[in-house]
Structure 1
Amino acid sequence: MEESKKPIKITGKEDPKVGVYVCWCGINIGGIVDVPLLAEYAKTLPNVVLGKEYKFMCSDIGQNMIEDDIKAGLINRVVVAACSPRMHEPTFRRACQEAGLNQFL
């Protein structure tokens, strides 16, 4: 098994370290919501250790941000605030899984 796909063991005893990733979706969300402010606000919420924003989180760059943060041990839970879960939920689940995190966390 490749190191990047080595499962991260979550026992339930460790503190949740949540990463919140807010997508601009171009101007679809960014034209209405103050995305940087939302990402900053997310960092004030319980167990949230990261709040990041990017123009298109579903892009390779956005997915790599999530994967890199998981692999670095910065987070063990992921929240993505973006457009349609119907279109992109599998994308973000796959990114978590590729980094070794249970796709449902």
Structure 2
Amino acid sequence: MSLRPAEEVRTAPLAALGLVGGFLVARETGVRPLGGAVLGLAGLYAGRTWLGKTGPAGTAALSAIYLGGFGASHPLAKKIGAWPAVLGVAGVSALASYLLADRH
């Protein structure tokens, strides 16, 4: 098994999938580490692709947005609800991934 070349991978859906999928898995199974595994695996695959497309600086910026969104979703959820918070940060991360890595 081999991974697709970085240039062929779209990272916006990966970023959204990692954040939304990780939340959904943790919520539905009650096993937070399992949700974290989804978040981490999607983030690693996206990060590998970001590195190939944007270099170290772009990867650092997109990783900070991805992980920052995960962190920000928790306090944000207390203000606006869990789903709106998760969907909001997933949208921001996906948009950043599209603008910085995918649209070129």
Q: Same fold (TM over 0.5)?
A: no
Shorter-chain TM range is: 0.3 to 0.5
In proportion to residue count, which structure has more strand? 1
In proportion to residue count, which structure has more helix? 2
